[in-house]
Amino acid sequence: MMQILPLFVAIPLGAGFLIPLVGRRNPRLCDALGNMTMLALLAMAISVIGKQGVYWVGGWLPQAGIPLGINLVLDGASLVMLLTITTISFMVTLYSIQYMDRYTSRSRFYSLFSLMVAGMIGVTLTGDLFNLFVFLEIASIASYALVAFGTQHEELEAAFRYIVLGSVGAALILFAIAIIYALTGSLNMAGISRALGTSPKPIYFFAVAMFIAGFGLKAALVPFHTWLPDAHPSAPAPISAMLSGVLIKTLGIYALARVLFNAVGMTPLFLDVLLVLGTLSIMVGVLLALGQDDIKRTLAYHSISQMGYVVLGFGLGTRLGIAAGLFHLMNHAVFKTLLFLNAGSIEYATGTRDYNKMGGLRSKMPVTAATSLIASMSISGIPPFNGFWSKLFIIVAAVQAEKYGYAAWAVVGSILTLASFTKLQKRAFFDEPKEAAKVAKEVPVFMKASMIGLAVLCVLMGLLWLPRIQEGFFMQAAKSLQEGFEYATHILGQ
């Protein structure tokens, strides 16, 4: 039993309850508590690198192969997610210290933020289907509120659309869970994979279709993406960064992959569905992004497109494809967070998000400009930045799997991404300064620190694909997903 596993959820939950209690009169205390919580989580996540384990909550060990309680599972895939979530959360809370000076009710902000992180970590670690649903809803509800945190017209409307589609997704997921329970009598993913057996009935495909639609809504895959381009830009910048950076990945893609691979069983049919959804998302996302003027909206569309790459990697079903997909997921979390924080800094300094009104920010905001350039090159897949390596290996994996058509679409998507970001960089940072850019000055110290930290990660994370680290980390993670029903043996014993 790894005693540290429940603490991953208990600490942010405790922070979520405590911050509104003690921090209402003292905003600085909220900053301190929020940052310390996230730092502690990051340290804990680093301390479990290379470990694996199962934790049965309440001490209800499985008896004769019946999973009695809820279990927390740390394996390769959940470790990747855990590290991503904790790193990004810490960087974002660091950034929020000064950014959130523009908003009131800091205690509510940090409370909701901690609860959202707790929800995401809960989704990552849980081995129980219904528990996954509960934590998914915690993270979702916190994110609904955070999208509307500014309570302006646009934010409220975006939040309403988000909450409605999010609830539909949740209802679909819960319905599917109920069908699976009706078929197997178990909620534990390992127990389900044991009980489902090998003869799928039509009802089983119906349930899986509901899972794909439900998680697809949470992950904003095309054609379930309509809420994302409104919701992500409307939120305060740190929250946009969290939503695009980790929330859609954890609640959508990771949860979908976990359920499909390890609980209900992956079949070639489902892999094909994922391939199609992934390719559609790549193309639709990037084409819509090209037509935008709003810097955060552009980034939001790119999130859809980049998630397409991850799903494409997973849909290949090969070890290399899944590993590259997870690598891209991690990289995307870093550079998309950085891009949204850059956008937040620009908005903080100039008061606008329309990049036609900016221009010349390179001299006014050197740190923002430099980090944004790194992130843009990273997302467009320019070597030696991290985005290049993960996209390259997704394409390599597609070629290895003899899916040449999908590989070609991925290349085209990458070129269009480059075009879109060249336009953005030129208009915002290089052209002649416009009205809004003249008064701009560089953002305060913590915001700079957070952006520089993420930029450094963008450069260094390419190293994670070095053979030894890759073998021990990403391949291990891909193995834990790909081995499918073997998963049950690790958890329930023979």
- Residues numbered 284 to 343 that lie near another protein (CB under 8 A) are none
Task: Count residues near another protein (CB under 8 A).
Answer: 92
Among positions 23-52, residues that touch another protein (CB under 8 A) are: 24-25, 27
Among positions 177-236, residues that touch another protein (CB under 8 A) are: 178-179, 181-188, 191, 195, 201-206
Token pair listed for 102 = 């523009």
- Taking the C-alpha atoms of residue 321 and residue 393, their distance in angstroms, rounded to an integer, is 8
Backbone dihedral angles phi then psi of residue 56, each to the nearest 5 degrees: -100, 115
User: Min. distance of Cβ 58 from another protein in angstroms?
Assistant: 4
Stretch of residues binding another protein (CB under 8 A), selected from 167-175, 278-286, 413-421, 477-485: 167-175
Provide the phi-psi class of 14: left if phi over 0, else alpha when psi is between -120 and 50, else beta.
Answer: alpha
User: Min. distance of Cβ 382 from another protein in angstroms?
Assistant: 36
Token pair listed for 96 = 């929020």
Stretch of residues binding another protein (CB under 8 A), selected from 101-109, 321-329, 420-428, 477-485: 101-109
Tell me whether residue 86 or residue 143 sits nearer to another protein (CB atom): 143
484 in Cβ contact with 193 (< 8 Å): yes
Among positions 49-68, residues that touch another protein (CB under 8 A) are: 55-60, 63-68
Maximum distance among all Cα pairs of the chain, rounded to whole angstroms? 72
Which of 38, 75, 81, 137 contacts another protein by CB under 8 A? 137
215 in Cβ contact with 255 (< 8 Å): yes
Which of 45, 73, 94, 112 contacts another protein by CB under 8 A? 112
Which of 70, 212, 237, 264 contacts another protein by CB under 8 A? 70
Tell me whether residue 17 or residue 404 sits nearer to another protein (CB atom): 17
Stretch of residues binding another protein (CB under 8 A), selected from 130-138, 240-248, 404-412, 418-426: 130-138
Tell me whether residue 63 or residue 198 sits nearer to another protein (CB atom): 63
User: Min. distance of Cβ 299 from another protein in angstroms?
Assistant: 21
Token pair listed for 197 = 């057996």
Contact status: 485 vs another protein (CB under 8 A): no
379 in Cβ contact with 302 (< 8 Å): yes
> What are the start-end ranges of the E strands in 229-324?
none
Among positions 242-261, residues that touch another protein (CB under 8 A) are: none
218 in Cβ contact with 251 (< 8 Å): yes
Nearest C-alpha neighbor of 261 from the set 485, 444, 22: 485
User: Min. distance of Cβ 256 from another protein in angstroms?
Assistant: 19
Tell me whether residue 236 or residue 308 sits nearer to another protein (CB atom): 236
- Taking the C-alpha atoms of residue 200 and residue 267, their distance in angstroms, rounded to an integer, is 11
Helix pair 474-482, 76-99: axis angle to 10 deg: 120
User: Min. distance of Cβ 150 from another protein in angstroms?
Assistant: 5
Which of 40, 52, 53, 103 contacts another protein by CB under 8 A? 103
Sequence letter at residue 367: V
Nearest C-alpha neighbor of 251 from the set 90, 169, 364, 136: 136
- Name the residue with tokens 């029903």: 485
127 in Cβ contact with 246 (< 8 Å): no
Stretch of residues binding another protein (CB under 8 A), selected from 36-44, 141-149, 238-246, 304-312: 141-149
Contact status: 69 vs another protein (CB under 8 A): yes
Which of 36, 49, 50, 151 contacts another protein by CB under 8 A? 151
366 in Cβ contact with 372 (< 8 Å): no
Contact status: 154 vs another protein (CB under 8 A): yes
Contact status: 489 vs another protein (CB under 8 A): no
Which of 29, 32, 40, 130 contacts another protein by CB under 8 A? 130
**Positive or negative, the Cα torsion across 422, 425, 427, 429?**
negative
CA 157 from chain centre, in angstroms, equals: 23
Stretch of residues binding another protein (CB under 8 A), selected from 99-107, 286-294, 307-315, 479-487: 99-107
Tell me whether residue 160 or residue 485 sits nearer to another protein (CB atom): 160
Helix pair 319-350, 386-400: axis angle to 10 deg: 150
Which of 79, 159, 273, 475 contacts another protein by CB under 8 A? 159
232 in Cβ contact with 161 (< 8 Å): no
- Taking the C-alpha atoms of residue 300 and residue 303, their distance in angstroms, rounded to an integer, is 5
Contact status: 392 vs another protein (CB under 8 A): no
* DSSP one-letter code for 351: S
5 in Cβ contact with 53 (< 8 Å): yes
Name the strand (E) or helix (H) holding 287: helix 268-290
Which of 93, 131, 298, 480 contacts another protein by CB under 8 A? 131
Stretch of residues binding another protein (CB under 8 A), selected from 87-95, 107-115, 298-306, 314-322: 107-115
Stretch of residues binding another protein (CB under 8 A), selected from 43-51, 140-148, 356-364, 445-453: 140-148
- Taking the C-alpha atoms of residue 473 and residue 450, their distance in angstroms, rounded to an integer, is 25
Stretch of residues binding another protein (CB under 8 A), selected from 6-14, 280-288, 383-391, 470-478: 6-14
Which of 79, 97, 117, 170 contacts another protein by CB under 8 A? 170
